[in-house]
Amino acid sequence: MNQYHSRFPFLLFAQRLLSLILIALFLSACLAGGADSDEHLEAKVGQMLLIGFRGLEVDESSSIVRDIREGRVGGVIIFDYDVALRSPVRNVASPEQLGKLVADLRAASHGAPLFVAIDQEGGRVNRLKERYGFPPTVSQGWLGGQNDPRLTGEYAHRTAKTLSGLGINVNLAPVVDVNVNPDNPVIGKLERSFSADPHTVAIHAAAVIAGHQTEGVLTALKHFPGHGSSTTDSHLGFTDVTRTWVEKELEPYRAILRTTGADMIMTAHVFNARLDPDWPATLSRATMQGLLRDQMGYQGVIISDDMQMQAITDHYDLETALEQTILAGADVIIFGNNLVYDEDIAQKAGEIILDLVREGRVPEWRIHQSYSRIMHLKSRLAARGKMECRLCDAY
């Protein structure tokens, strides 16, 4: 219980009541019967897209601001390095600069809160580096080696407090990949896995989730159904884990879903013929709907990994990738716009999805289903925001 709640218990009750009321309002809007008009359907599709952009600052003429204002995106993702340009100038220069950038982005959003996401795992995957004026971080591998969940929780809370102070409300962490292959170029070698022991992974991941919850920052478990055994990097091309993947890679997900639960679960672009002989996980209904939802009971938001990674783009056109990931069960679809850059990607993706619905290739109820899950999650951000405003007024 935080300092306000310990001094004023009624505020905790009020916050919970407000959250329930907002959830009810959001869901009642979602569940209003009948087929959607084109305008409503377009707004729902927009909530499914989370987009990267260029710039240390934005204004009314910025394409990302227009996309937010016109409802073409429901979230943005922050990077510190522009991969396509091989430039250190992207979205991050200092705490003050980033705080203003995020505030301007959020101000452009009307209605539901804007997801502002970042990959702030710590260690090698760290967008808020010391050279920009942010606190030092450590890797998940280092924390797993210390094997002190309290220490992991302390680092997680420090990270979440930094993010919350900047207005960033989604951390695409923790990594719950089991370190099956320590030589894995994208997980093990980068010290992104807590451990080769799934129980240890689950305990430390739960500590990360709890540390973020205290600051109202959402988290995403990644990369389902497991990237820890791969021998190649899905950023760079086709990644087949059929022969290396083991059942224990699912254990951290099962443990967390039984206990703390998950705000979001991110898919991997790995191909596993034992789970689906035709599609990689991000495009696989057997993996996402059949395994994660039906067998493991997860009913929350599924978020894709970046759809511009070469494991997808080298093998599927944009229309096929969007059709398959939505049919498979993805709710939020990421276009990081960093490996390649397309200023119009939000509009292009949105129009493709709308056409897929109009042609009957994607049922309208799938859009409604994802929208409902997203709004349910965003209602928690709205509730926290309203309570923080009331607390500010009270002091």
Active site residues: 235, 305
Compute the 3-state secondary structure of the chain and give helix, strand, coil in percent, each to the nearest 5. 50, 10, 40
Q: Is the distance from CB of 383 to CB of 14 less than 8 angstroms?
A: no
Triad 106, 109, 114: Cα angle to 5°: 60
Alpha helix locations (H) across the chain? 3-7, 9-30, 38-47, 63-69, 95-107, 140-146, 149-166, 198-213, 251-258, 285, 310-313, 318-328, 345-358, 364-394
Which pair of structure tokens corresponds to residue 74? 């429901």
Residues ≥6 apart with Cβ < 8 Å to 36: 44, 364, 367, 368
Q: What CA–CA distance (Å, rounded) separates 305 from 284?
A: 13
Triad 58, 62, 68: Cα angle to 5°: 90
Q: Which residue has the tokens 């070469």?
A: 310
The residues pairing with 218 across neighbouring beta strands, listed in sequence order, are 170
Q: What CA–CA distance (Å, rounded) separates 383 from 137?
A: 30
